[in-house]
Amino acid sequence: MMRAPGFWQGSGGGLLPLLLSPLAALYAGTTARRMRRPGWRAPVPVICCGNATAGGAGKTTVALDIGRRLANRGIAVHFLLRGYGGSLRGPLRVDPAAHDSTEVGDEALLLAAERPAWISADRAAGARAAVAAGAQAIVMDDGLQNPTLEKDLSLLVVDGSYGFGNGHVIPAGPLREPVRAAAARSRAAVMIGADETRAGALLPPGLPVLRAALKPGPEAELLAGQPVFAFCGIANPPKFFSTLTEAGVVLAGREAFADHYPFDEGDMRDLLAEAEALRAIPVTTRKDYVRIPPAFRSRVTVVTVRLEWAEPAQIEALLEPLAQRIPVPA
């Protein structure tokens, strides 16, 4: 796993993005041609939580929230994702008791802990398997740039603290495709956190923007006032660190790794030794926890996060027409 280049952030200027612009144009053109292919239309609603940038933007957290909202209506929800970071291609139903992150990826384990989750490099094949297993609705974690499966509702998830980086397409920047192309296939954008980079100004004026925030779980309250040593390997480590400090946790030390970093025993011994030297409690994210060797997990505290919508009625209104299509037993 590698870190995103530093020049992917910022205002978009500089020599490297300019030099890489021909390759970026080729990348964007390839994506556009791929997206013109027709996909399979599933007999159940398909909801996609995607983004325009490489790396995390909060898609998994949004997918979990939507899964809960549909399940609260009595709908059998199944999750579908590629299984980034895992070796298996699927279609495969994830079993947290039998699979680990090296096989199915960390997001798949988080989703499967709540509801049935499928990994599949071929999303259409994964959707067929989910439907055959009884799925009444499919929630995709990522896949906005995958054309093999038609979506009934696509949400463009934006990390307010990162936005769209320098605004350029890979490799000149972090965008998988131009913002306007991703927005054109989305019913709404979900802005997580304050829009610190004015990313909202790059969205089409008619696209609804739903506001949400990440809030720490109950573990943070128990840690309030205590010194902790925080470590994580996620797309935006500062977001995790600021979530802890905003909850009143004393950050005695911190260490950031590349997104999806595979912690080994040597890493954990070093991290735990550093926490001990600081007389601090070692803490990490739920996503990182599943990538820690099992022998070390009991010594690490997990701080979860949840999604808090500014106006929950907005997301419910988007889900309502899809939910009405699904017959729910009385």
> What region does 196 belong to: left with phi over 0, alpha with psi -120 to 50, or beta?
alpha
Residue 13 lies in a domain: no
Residue 146 lies in a domain: yes
What are the phi and psi torsion angles at 205 (to 5°)? -55, -30
145 & 268 share domain? no
Asked whether the beta carbons of 145 and 155 are under 8 A apart, the reply is: no
What letter represents residue 207's amino acid? L
At 268, list the tokens: 């954990």
Which residues does the annotation place in the binding site?
A: 53-60
Task: Report the distance separating Cα 177 and Cα 274, nearest Å.
Answer: 41
Q: Helices H, strands E: what count in the chain? A: 12, 13
> Which residue reads 């999806």 in tokens?
260
**Looking at residue 10, what is its pLDDT?**
75
At 326, list the tokens: 């699904």
What letter represents residue 187's amino acid? R
Q: How many structural domains compose the chain?
A: 2
131 & 195 share domain? yes
Mean per-residue pLDDT pooled into runs of 10, the chain (330 residues): 76 82 95 94 97 88 97 96 93 96 95 97 97 97 96 97 93 96 97 94 96 92 93 91 91 94 96 97 96 96 94 97 79
**Looking at residue 298, what is its pLDDT?**
96
What letter represents residue 27's amino acid? Y
Residue 269 lies in a domain: yes
286 & 149 share domain? no
Task: Report the distance separating Cα 299 and Cα 284, nearest Å.
Answer: 11
* CATH number for the domain harbouring residue 317: 3.40.50.300
175 & 223 share domain? no
318 & 287 share domain? no
**Looking at residue 204, what is its pLDDT?**
95
190 & 281 share domain? no
187 & 238 share domain? no
230 & 177 share domain? no
At 255, list the tokens: 């260490």
**Looking at residue 41, what is its pLDDT?**
96
* CATH number for the domain harbouring residue 249: 3.40.50
Residue 252 lies in a domain: yes
Residue 9 lies in a domain: no
153 & 82 share domain? yes
Quote the DSSP letter at residue 248.
T
**Looking at residue 2, what is its pLDDT?**
59
Residue 41 lies in a domain: yes
276 & 162 share domain? no
Residue 248 lies in a domain: yes
Q: Could you list the residue range(s) of the whole structural domain that residue 292 is in?
A: 218-303
**Looking at residue 200, what is its pLDDT?**
95
Asked whether the beta carbons of 167 and 17 are under 8 A apart, the reply is: no
3-class state of residue 42 by DSSP? coil
Which residues does the annotation place in the binding site for ATP?
A: 53-60
The beta strands (E) that lie in the chain are given as 46-50, 77-81, 92-93, 117-119, 137-141, 153-159, 188-192, 209-216, 227-232, 250-256, 281-285, 301-303, 305-309
208 & 246 share domain? no
Residue 23 lies in a domain: no
70 & 189 share domain? yes
DSSP per-residue letters across 63-101: HHHHHHHHHTTT--EEEEE--TT-S--SSEE--TTT--H
**Looking at residue 236, what is its pLDDT?**
86
